Structure 1
């Protein structure tokens, strides 16, 4: 009986290992975001001065939201389904072409979301000061 229980725990782990490699969130951030937002996410990337609108300082997202990271709003921005007037941030189709996982941005609603977007949102949480 114990063997079956251990096997039941190991099978999901084996499925994770067998999945194809996907870039880390840091790699995606560097490739797709740092040019405008900078390596540290402060809005000081190499291209920032060429834009009409200064890129957001991503390190203050939680501070600007009374200390709570605004996961749902961030996901809306990086996924591209929230397009307020004057949005200059591009859509990142390459991030959409990945496995879909349940994601809760803090509103209690699980939404099927491409894993690379979830990883990027989680990485942005680590940049908060």
Structure 2
């Protein structure tokens, strides 16, 4: 049986094959600017306008691979952003984007709200992978 993360990776990989690479990267960057930059900053260095208001240190997102022995921790980042599996690595300050994306999902092609949320999260994770130092 395939895991949730394997299914999500497969879905985005298929989308990426069918879409232009620049479009996939742009979608992830746009998701980042809307969902993450407020705390992590437009530069992803942890210096967003809301970072100082939090009761935790907002980390840079540029060294995730470096902190993981040179390998981007795709599944861990996916689980942290989605948040619906109970992983609360960042304490209560990290929003559960899976639920937020699902509740605001719309589709003109018949995708379920969960499919739309997963696609948005995957594009965001691939964007984060692309900006690693």
Count of matched residue pairs: 101
- TM-superposed CA distance for 1:84, in Å, is 3.8
> Partners in 2 of 1:37 and 1:58 — Cα distance?
7
Decide which structure has the larger Cα Rg and report it: 1
User: Alignment partner for residue 64 of structure 1, among 64, 67, 84?
Assistant: 67
Matches within 5 A, 1:18-57: 24-57=27-60
- TM-superposed CA distance for 1:55, in Å, is 1.2
Deviations 1:68-100 (A, max 9, x none): 000011011100021247331111234334563
Q: TM-score scaled by structure 2? A: 0.65
What are the ranges of 5 or more consecutive residues in structure 2 without an aligned counterpart? 1-13, 106-112
Structure 1 pair 114/58, CA: closer, same or farther in 2 (3 Å)?
same
Instruction: Name the SS of the counterpart of 1:125 in structure 2.
Output: helix
Structure 1 pair 50/85, CA: closer, same or farther in 2 (3 Å)?
closer
C-alpha RMSD over aligned residues = 2.9
What are the ranges of 5 or more consecutive residues in structure 1 without an aligned counterpart? 1-11, 102-112
Could you tell me which residue of structure 2 aligns to residue 100 of structure 1? Answer: 115
Structure 1 pair 99/85, CA: closer, same or farther in 2 (3 Å)?
closer
> Partners in 2 of 1:69 and 1:87 — Cα distance?
24
Where relative contact order (Cα < 8 A, 6+ residues apart) is larger, the structure is: 2
